[in-house]
């Protein structure tokens, strides 16, 4: 996977080290998740708070401490448990949700790194802020003391339509530039876009964070091979 990232970055003159791999573990077993971290995965992403519990427990029991990203739609009634388990919230898709996260983060004495989710393609099946409302929401979220806004993210499905995907990713890069100009006090260094099927296009268009699960875990055994104890 790092090879795919590196080749894509090098094609457009980027440093591959500028692109973070978030390993999405929603389809992995606890044992596979532990193995991924042992193999070098430092950032893990989960879509649902409740589904992550067994994998988080297995990783913790193994004495490992990756950075856990909440990457799926976060319901407001799940914010508390999310803050108790995740290091980052990468899917802030409304000001109402941001205020809820801010309040509960303050109760826990935390400042939470977050990304603002943008529905850049206008997909009615996807969550996220519209590009038009993003600047005003970003300005409001920037004023919440319990949150540290680091960038924006999107999820785009275009069924192999390369030009549409590239246009959506380019639009996200333009939004990042606009936010940097309008709110220069915030870093806006994270541009999270690209998954298993389209990460090359995303990296070529400036992604600094790709979320990959299926391409990593597909075909792996659910449990590690049994090892006989030495005699």
Top CATH class, 2-217 = alpha beta
Q: Read off the pLDDT of residues 187-200 as tens digits, 9 standing for 90 and up.
A: 999 999 999 889 99
In the chain, where the domains are located: 2-217
Element (H, E) at 51: helix 49-61
Of residues 222 and 180, the one with the higher pLDDT is 180
Start-to-end C-alpha separation, the chain: 37
Q: Assess whether pLDDT exceeds 60 at residue 228.
A: no
* pLDDT, averaged across the chain: 93
Cα separation, 189 vs 180, whole angstroms: 9
Of residues 223 and 98, the one with the higher pLDDT is 98
Residue with tokens 């785009």: 156
Cα separation, 61 vs 48, whole angstroms: 20
Q: Read off the pLDDT of residues 40-96 as tens digits, 9 standing for 90 and up.
A: 999 999 999 999 999 999 999 999 999 999 999 999 999 999 999 999 999 999 999
The pLDDT value recorded for residue 229 is 41
The pLDDT value recorded for residue 1 is 82
Q: Using the 8-state DSSP alphabet, how is residue 77 labeled?
A: G
The token pair at 127 is 């969550």
Element (H, E) at 46: strand 43-46
Which residues touch 23 (CB under 8 Å, ≥6 apart)?
36, 41, 43, 44, 45, 212, 213, 216
Q: Read off the pLDDT of residues 148-179 as tens digits, 9 standing for 90 and up.
A: 999 999 998 877 689 999 999 999 999 999 99
């Amino acid at each position: 996977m790092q090879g795919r990232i590196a080749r894509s970055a090098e094609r457009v003159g980027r440093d591959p080290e500028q692109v973070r791999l978030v390993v999405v573990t929603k389809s992995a077993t606890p044992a596979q998740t532990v193995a991924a971290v042992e193999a070098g995965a430092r950032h893990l992403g989960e879509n649902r708070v409740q589904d992550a519990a067994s994998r988080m427990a297995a990783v913790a029991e193994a004495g490992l401490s990756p950075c856990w990203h909440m990457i799926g739609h976060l319901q407001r009634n799940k914010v508390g448990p999310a803050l108790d388990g995740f290091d980052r919230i990468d899917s802030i898709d409304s000001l109402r949700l941001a205020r809820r996260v801010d309040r509960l983060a303050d109760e826990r004495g935390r400042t939470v790194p977050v990304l603002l989710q943008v529905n850049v393609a206008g997909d009615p099946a996807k969550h996220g802020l519209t590009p038009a409302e993003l600047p005003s929401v970003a300005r409001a979220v920037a004023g919440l003391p319990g949150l540290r806004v680091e960038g924006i993210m999107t999820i785009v499905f275009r069924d192999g339509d390369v030009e549409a995907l590239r246009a959506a990713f380019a639009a996200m890069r333009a939004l990042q530039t606009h936010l940097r100009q309008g709110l220069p006090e915030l870093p806006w260094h994270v541009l999270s876009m690209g998954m298993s099927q389209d990460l090359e296009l995303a990296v070529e268009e400036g992604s600094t964070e790709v979320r990959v699960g299926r391409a990593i875990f597909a075909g792996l055994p659910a449990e590690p091979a049994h090892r006989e104890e030495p005699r």
